[in-house]
Amino acid sequence: MRSALPKVLHRVGGASLIGHVLASAAKSGAHGVDVVIGPERDDVAAEIKRIGPDARIYVQRERLGTAHAVLSAKEALSSGHDLIVAFGDTPLVRAETFSMLADALQDAAVAVLGFRPKNPHGYGRLVMEGDQLVSIREEKDASDAERKIGLCNAGIMAFAGKHALSLIEAIGNENAKGEYYLTDAVALARARNLKVAVREAAEEEVMGINDRAQLAEAESELQKRLRKAALESGVTLIAPETVFLSADTQFGKDVTVEPNVVFGPGVVVKDGATIKAFSHLEGAEVGEGASVGPFARLRPGTKLGAKTRIGNFVEVKAAVLGEGAKANHLAYVGDASVGPNANIGAGTITCNYDGHAKSKTDIGEGAFIGSNSALVAPVKIGAGAYVGSGSVITEDVPADALALGRGRQAVKEGWAAAERKRRAKAGKHD
């Protein structure tokens, strides 16, 4: 990946690669997840625990092949439960595919996941006899006839619990690299007259990530999947190909999303809401019938009540807006509570940071904040209060009061005409 970040912590759809795998495993009904990581990878371990607190972590001290990695979790294999071996850099495998592999173990000792790529060059071929797998033949070892086989090895395997440990422990390392290959379990199972089954998945589902180009391909594929799911759930995406979703984006019914909208992680959009063009949302909840954008930014901690209005070039962060509240243009609302039906005028900002700490602004129900106002937190604006345009508010404003925090206007009649004459006269002397 040419990165200081471990490969499995790179992200697609707002979630880490390993996070996608763990999520699919959990959805498949797996009753336990064990993860093998490399040494001194506290960052990977932390991500695993964040997503799956109950996951057990094992460390492979030496890289001696896939079977050796699995045996690093020998304690887990000793339980006798059926086992699926997946990879942390293969993020698009569906929960249904894991379940399909598990079901294959009802009458097989080993099940291998296969796929049919458009171009099979470079992949190991699955050599079949009827419905049973005879061997996995690497391309360099395959005959001309075997290279014509379109069914290839995806790498993901499942083992019946009563056979898993004995088969994997029996794998040797008599090969050019001196490594222990999990795929050798197929030949071992056949030698013991055990059935080896194959199940198939789509090519795009089993793509592994080894570089930035493949990461981009996985992102593209995941976005297609997420957009399709959104459309099928009743969301209107006016230009689907321009909308980018996160794996955890949640939509209610009758939501409309205009072109060029980005949903970061942790966004919930409730029934009937509209997200207008060129908006960016992350860690935010949008209430029923609310409108966001165009060109709006909702940052983490934002919660918009029903029928709220967030307009163009408005940024909201760690703020709760009550039902019907409005900030229609050119405003910043951060670390704030805004009551129902309050109005935030254009150019208004909540001054929430003093260089050391964040403080809160509390705006009451039905309050009106005039344009180009600065509310210096901590400060409270009472229900129904008015803040005059251009004010700097540093003290609490009682309910139903008018607050003005600006210099008194002075008017000098005739000044402009006199100034023009002065300049014209001065110009003649030049």
Neighbours of 289 (CB within 10 A): 17
Query: Can you read off the two tokens belonging to residue 29?
Result: 């009904």
> b vs e for 2-22, b when ≥16 Cβ sit within 10 Å of the residue's Cβ?
eeeebbbbbbbbbbbbbbbbb
CB atoms within 10 A of CB 273: 24
**CA dist 100 → 95, 97, 175 (Å):** 9, 5, 32
Catalytic residue, from 280, 329, 356, 429: name it. Answer: 329
329 is catalytic: yes
Which residues touch 51 (CB under 8 Å, ≥6 apart)? Answer: 16, 18, 19, 22, 23
Return d(Cα 386, Cα 363) in angstroms, integer: 10
Residue 354's CB: how many other CB atoms inside 10 A?
11
- List Cβ neighbours of 152 (8 Å cut-off, separation of 6 or more): 114, 115, 116, 117, 120, 123, 124, 125, 126
Distance between CA 301 and CA 358 in Å, rounded?
Answer: 14
Helix axes 42-51, 17-27, angle to 10 degrees: 30
Q: Residues 95, 73, 164, CA angle at the centre, nearest 5°?
A: 70
Annotated catalytic sites, by residue? 329
